[in-house]
Amino acid sequence: MSKLILGIKLGMTQLFAEDGRVVPVTVVASGNNVVIRNKNIESDGYYAVQLGFGEIKDKKVTKPMQGYFKKFEVKPVKFIRELRLKAESEYKVGDVIGVDTFAAGEVVDVIGTSKGKGFAGGIKRHNFARGPMGHGSKSHREPGSTGAMLSGPGGRVLKGKKLPGRMGGIRTTIQHLTVVKVDKDRNLILIKGAIPGPKKGLVLIRDTVKPIKEKQHQEPKKKK
């Protein structure tokens, strides 16, 4: 059964382990997530589950969304997120998911929207190298050649070419993070390390999709 929950990133702090080591953690405030809808192959063409999280005033809910919540007989929520699954969800519509669905020591993936950095050049966005910095150079921080496709009539830049542009603000997943502590009384989940997004950003925590592979010991090859 897939474990997942929505929460709000509060920021980072640190904890002290039993042996005295300092452990950096990110604090995520979550609460009672409600299962709004389950999707399946027969009706939707794929498996997915929709989660709702956060309180919202009735006057701020649009009429289309009021009808949507009424259809599935759930209370209106502020955030709705859908997560695709490989098999049909075991949750039922109306089920409530709390922070105690996770426990300390579990390995999770965290999905969020990275911080938006605005328009950035190639050096900041893609770690390009600088051009010559002497007075005779006219391309200190320019992106350089975009390839031979520009030569001749009908020239164009190939799709996917790394160029200056808007940086950040995209869906980002960080895998294999460890849950350090779960505070059920305050609805907090403390995760080791950094997670995507700014403070007060919405994140989705789920059990890791790809487990960590243990490295197998290999005997050194003998020289012939």
What's the pLDDT tens digit per position in 116-161?
A: 999 999 999 999 999 999 999 888 998 888 877 667 777 888 888 8
pLDDT for res 25: 96
Return all residues near 53 (Cβ < 8 A) that are at least 6 apart.
6, 7, 30, 31, 33, 34, 77, 78, 79, 81, 202
Q: What is the mean pLDDT of residues 202-218?
A: 76
Q: What is the mean pLDDT of residues 171-188?
A: 93
Q: What is the mean pLDDT of residues 197-210?
A: 90
Q: What is the mean pLDDT of residues 22-30?
A: 95
Rounded mean pLDDT of the chain?
A: 89
The pTM assigned to this predicted structure is 0.82
24, 123, 220 from 223: Cα distances, Å: 45, 44, 9
pLDDT for res 198: 94
pLDDT for res 127: 94
Please write the tens of the pLDDT for every residue from 40-57: 999 889 999 999 998 999
DSSP for 98-132, please give it: -GGGS-TT-EEEEEEEPPP-EEE-HHHHH-PPP--
Of the candidates 205, 180, 208, which has an alpha carbon nearest to the alpha carbon of residue 193? 180
pLDDT for res 53: 92
Distance, C-alpha 86 to centroid of its chain: 18
pLDDT for res 88: 86
Q: What is the mean pLDDT of residues 193-221?
A: 80
pLDDT for res 169: 94
pLDDT for res 107: 93
Please write the tens of the pLDDT for every residue from 71-123: 998 999 999 999 988 888 888 888 899 999 999 999 999 999 999 999 999 99
Least confident of 103-107, 170-174, 207-211: 207-211
pLDDT for res 7: 94
Report residue 8's pLDDT band, with 50, 70 and 90 as the boundaries: very high
Checking if the pLDDT of 217 tops 60, the result is no
